[in-house]
Amino acid sequence: MVDPLGVGLGLALTLVVVVLHFSQGAERPIPDDISQQVIERRAATVPETDFPEPMNRSIGGGAVAAGAVTAGGAEAEGELGEAAEEEVDDDPAAIPDDEAEVFEVEYVKEGTTIEVKENETLLEAGEDEGWDLPYACREGQCISCAGHIADGGNSEQYVKHYTNQMLGEPELDDGYTLTCVAYPISDLSLETRESP
């Protein structure tokens, strides 16, 4: 059987909850949009720099940064161009075949002396002979291709290393070379498969 007192109490409670819900909802203040304040406050904590901000970081300064780049652009481009040109000039591989000087290189362990042009590396020249010489990076960044110049003195008296990121002055003084980036500048005797 339904208890009328219980039903009445239930209805009364429901009514109270509904009234409270709507009265609070109507009175709750809508918060202000503070996102701009937050952005400004954060910006104020970033220290000023002495250098121009990159375009993507400067506030309203994109045009200035772009202008600065444009103003210095021609000069920078000129310098870059010269650097690139120098690099090409500096690359023995860029010497045309018909202008390249030829040197006598004795490959001691292979028992042969061959002619190597100043625009080819000791490694390439040996490979052209069909010898299975060691190498890995072919960029002067490891030591797999190392060899020893047996003529005495610093190896750079005999070869130009186009890049050499492995051999320091003591190793060069001992006659070691990275054959993958070593271009002859003189006759020489090479012992392949020799590392410091």
Taking the complex as a whole, the smallest distance from the CB of residue 116 to ligand FES amounts, in Å, to 16
72: helix, strand or coil = helix
Minimum CB distance to ligand FES smaller for 23 or for 165: 165
Q: Which of residues 14-53 bind ligand FES (CB under 6 A)?
A: none
Token pair for 64: 């200035």
What is the spatial distance between Cα 24 and Cα 69, in angstroms, rounded to a whole number?
58
What is the spatial distance between Cα 140 and Cα 105, in angstroms, rounded to a whole number?
20
| Kind of pairing between the strands at 182-184 and 188-191 | unpaired
Find the radius of gyration of the CA atoms of the chain. 38
Contact between 58 and ligand FES by CB under 6 A: the answer reads no
Minimum CB distance to ligand FES smaller for 62 or for 134: 134
Burial of 5 (0-12, 13-18, 19+ CB in 10 A): exposed
Contact between 95 and ligand FES by CB under 6 A: the answer reads no
What mask, x for binding ligand FES by CB under 6 A, covers residues 141 to 180?
A: xxxxx--------------------------------x-x
Minimum CB distance to ligand FES smaller for 108 or for 142: 142
What is the spatial distance between Cα 99 and Cα 153, in angstroms, rounded to a whole number?
28
Minimum CB distance to ligand FES smaller for 145 or for 188: 145
Residue of 62, 138, 174, 189 that binds ligand FES (CB under 6 A) = 138
Taking the complex as a whole, the smallest distance from the CB of residue 115 to ligand FES amounts, in Å, to 22
161: helix, strand or coil = strand
The interface region with ligand FES, picked from 26-34, 46-54, 95-103, 138-146 by CB under 6 A, is 138-146
Beta carbons of 128 and 110 less than 8 angstroms apart = no
Residue 117 dihedral angles phi and psi, to the nearest 5°: -75, 155
Taking the complex as a whole, the smallest distance from the CB of residue 92 to ligand FES amounts, in Å, to 15
What mask, x for binding ligand FES by CB under 6 A, covers residues 118 to 137?
A: -----------------xxx
Token pair for 61: 């300064």
Binding site for ligand FES (CB under 6 A): 135-138, 140-145, 178, 180
